A and B are shown apart, each in its own frame.
Chain A
Amino acid sequence: MRGPPRLRAVTLIATQSLTKVYGGRVTALSDLTLSVGPGVVGLVGANGAGKSTLIKLLLGLIPPSGGSLSVLGLDPTTQAADVRARVGYMPENDCLPPELSAAEFVTHLGRISGLPRTAARERASEALRHVGLYEERYRQIGGYSTGMKQRVKLAQALVHDPDLLLLDEPTNGLDPAGRDAMLNLIARIGSEFGISVVVCSHLLGEVERICNSLIAIDGGKLLRSAEISTMTTSTDVLAVEVSEGTDELGHRLAAAGLPPTREGRLLLVPLGSAPDAAYDTILAAVADLDLPLHRLEQRRHRVAELFAAREDA
């Protein structure tokens, strides 16, 4: 029997001066100290920043060269099997056998995670259903599209009901619609399923909308780690795009007490403390000036700015 509620206010992942050097020469992570609470965590950084190394360390697949770490309160260097029993991992690369059906493969991996036969079969079909695979699950994986394969990869990480999911670039190779669907699914796993998730991505803009907190690493070093709420409270902006009369609209909004900033063809309007009123003001201004409105979307623009500022420093 396993422990009580999963979203306890415990530390999900903590590292202290974590360092990983490959072959005595290549430093993949250096002196990384961070602490992350439960929820959906974005792990962002360019390719080669050390994201995959961090994940392998968290799973206990490789030993650290220095420092210490804990996952769900366990030490992966000494309790790797206990950590892995409670963690689901979705690798970045292709990892599916084309000759098996998704149902058989996910069931098999459920059994490797220690589920009894019947439970593994039931949970495999549930996991596949949760990721949106129904009758297709009895077909061979070899015939699947990239999007379906990504879903199977996610399902196998979920099959044993982990407390933490480690997803390495889950949107890799997906088209924009597939990407949105995958991100929505991950957000649901975090909120409805109550499973904490670490999402690795090299695209900040992609993960920021589904994450409670973000860790940015670069060159193996921590750039910044923070709760999104602390970064974005009252910093939400609306991006407005009109195909003509951008300046006119800008003046009108400034006069109405919503001074916008210009970014290319976009006007970025801070929503302030009364977002609904700001919405109305903007729509009224666009209607008054009779401008063709192209886009009106809410953004957490500041997150990117905060990271960019750190990177420049």
Chain B
Amino acid sequence: MLCKRIIPCLDVKDGRVVKGTNFVRLVDAGDPVEAAKAYDMCGADELVFLDIEATNECRKTMCDIVRKTAAEVFIPITVGGGVRKMEDITELLNAGADKVSINSAAIKNPELIREASQKYGKQCIVIAVDAKRNTDKGNWEVYVNGGRVNTKIDALEWCIQAEQMGAGEILLTSIDRDGMKTGYDIDLTKAVCNSVNIPVIASGGAGNKKDFLDIFTISKCDAALAASLFHFGEIPIPDLKQYLFDRNIPIRIAEKEV
């Protein structure tokens, strides 16, 4: 049976994990490669590296991080942040990334989705959608540039279009919930999952184990992503996975290294 995935997201700036990670004792809490290895050991199903500065210079650093990580960590790696053109995608995939996540650039130029998925296969093209509720219109709108600019585009329509253009997966972040620790945006996630037939990763708002149980029980999402919750050891991934497993969510319980 296909498992629900638990995905830690590492925000990277200047080649360092922002705010560090301290869920296990790492020699260097800010080293993304060290953090990735630790997450692999504790059963993360996949890793996301998010380049929060995303200049061209940063992408070279990011490629270097991906290359080092992929040499030692044998689970899927997704890289996002500042992916603007085909060359960026090529560089990251060649560095060992399994998937590339595209956000603002896909809104500006949806053809990029088609071009990239035709060249590399849609399985490696993730469309990141940052959505915020518009209470007046009763819908969700897509924001870009790190959640600063409202495109006024309807989030559900955009997800449907992205799927049609060749997206292989949607990384759906609720701006309303991000950092709030009040749970994932179930309504938004449900709405998107019911609109598309590609995997959806829920992101933004997880605060406790039950939030994960709820999003997997109530929506059809395939994966749940969190950042600081994992980095600071508030919820250890093995505990979370056991909790979900005990409640009949299909979860991969990683074998202990001998």
A and B: bona fide binding partners = no
**Chain A residues within 8 Å of B, Cβ to Cβ:** none
